[in-house]
Structure 1
């Protein structure tokens, strides 16, 4: 497997502003079926394959927004080779880290009869200590001149829950600012060094160990993480309710843009891509979050983890200006 591949358009890119890290890469398989029922064979159609995993998606989406990105991701076996081939994306520098185990597959079926989606996510291959160290070293070298590192997605088997704290420490050493979108133990074991933390409401609950039934409780939980020095800011994605943006200076709930949904897969990654693209442009966080919501909205209208249309993002971003923020 090739260790480094550059974007196929133009000369090799110099120091992209964004470096993403995906420890648990996936080959995303998306298909349609009329009905999903137990015990029977489900005849699928309209099958598509996309490179996936949190950081991989963020890099694709950031590039679609006009911000070049470098994607560091694990890749192993035939599925890993397929992901590398599919990552021949304009605006993305691909940096696969070869691993012994095969890259996982994730399978999503959209049921025509109900409009529901069924998502099957495999755990991924176990990573050795040497493979983990090579991932961290690769990110360190790629991030030396980057403005932002985006670490996104689950940690695969064998990777200790403290791994993302090691990424945060590395970012502190290189001067890059860390955007973290993680869940479970990988999030709970981060204690410092994050610039923007982007949990879903479920992930925020997991992080603080409380139900967080009201918006006031959600705000308190976000401020708790800021006060503890875990992060400078928290952006909680709230699905159809938009997002809650919190810093020590204040909080704002930014509404969603209502659209017909084709697929929700990758919408959170699109939000992260929009946020970091806005921050690269020097925007304040609230404006960057609005751009992230616009990118997530455009992603909801595309199948699988396919890249959205940038014009759709700009349209939704302009539409969001007319929506009153909830404070």
Structure 2
């Protein structure tokens, strides 16, 4: 589920859809506000937070990979999801599972930053597509960061080409950081 809620939508709508998803359905959430807050009580496969939503959860601005790791720890420790992704703008993103965090660096942009319109949507679309075709979650997130980087080089909602993503993904780097034993849960 992705996007902003319409004004009259029940506050627990996303939570209800997550709860009622059939067994084996991997729910991915990229939602905000009250929809996110109520959905955190349910269990999703993956939750993506932007800096604003992560800051709301943490109670302070998200400016670094360390801040994003803290937000992901909250999601995972609360058993809201199996996988968490928090974006940190031009730094890239942090992907976390029960065992580790992965700081995913954004690639160097060959063209100037133009607009962040649709960058988060592009990231989530790339992650979702790659998970659906069997890509491992970390690699799906790395590809998502490259797609978001391709998106920010374009004005407004223009669409990037595949060659741009191919060039950018070669620059994406991930650094593994073990999760603190106080947060890391034993995998099933």
TM-score bracket for this pair, using the shorter chain length = 0.7 to 0.9
Correspondence for 1:184:
33
The match for 1:204 among 44, 54, 69 is: 54
| TM-fit CA distance, 1:324 | 5.7
Which residues in structure 2 correspond to 1:37-186 (within 5 Å)? 151-171=1-21, 173=22, 175-186=24-35
Give the whole-Å Cα distance in 1 for the aligned partners of 2:154 and 2:70.
35
Contact 2:15–2:38 (8 Å) recurs in 1: yes
Q: Distance in 2 between matches of 1:263 and 1:210?
A: 27
Q: Report if the CA contact (8 A) 2:65-2:93 is conserved.
A: no
Task: Work out the CA distance in 2 between the residues paired with 1:324 and 1:152.
Answer: 25
Change in Cα spacing, 1:324 to 1:187, as seen in structure 2 (3 Å) is closer
- How far apart are residue 201 of structure 1 and its match? 1.9
Distance in 1 (CA, whole Å) between partners of 2:82 and 2:147 is: 23
1:232 partnered with 2:82: yes
2:45 corresponds to: 195
Cα pair 1:270 1:296 within 8 Å, conserved? yes
Correspondence for 2:138 among 277, 286, 295: 286
Change (3 A) 1:217 1:315: closer
Report if aligned partners of 2:103, 2:174 keep a CA contact under 8 Å in 1.
Answer: no
Q: Deviations over 1:302-325 (max 9, x none)?
A: 2222222112111111222xx463
Residues 65 and 88 in structure 2, CA contact (< 8 A), matched pair in contact too: no
Q: Distance in 1 between matches of 2:24 and 2:142?
A: 26
CA distance in 1, matches of 2:28, 2:175: 23
Q: Which runs of 5+ in 1 are unaligned?
A: 1-150
Looking at secondary structure, tell me which structure has more strand per residue.
1
Between Structure 1 and Structure 2, the one with more helix by share is: 2
Deviation at 1:209, TM superposition (A): 4.8
Matched, 1:219 2:69: yes
Mapped contact 1:179–1:197 kept (Cα < 8 A) = yes
TM-superposed CA distance for 1:212, in Å, is 5.5
* Matched residue count: 173
Partner of 2:126: 274
Indicate conservation of the 8 Å contact 1:198/1:234, yes or no.
Answer: yes
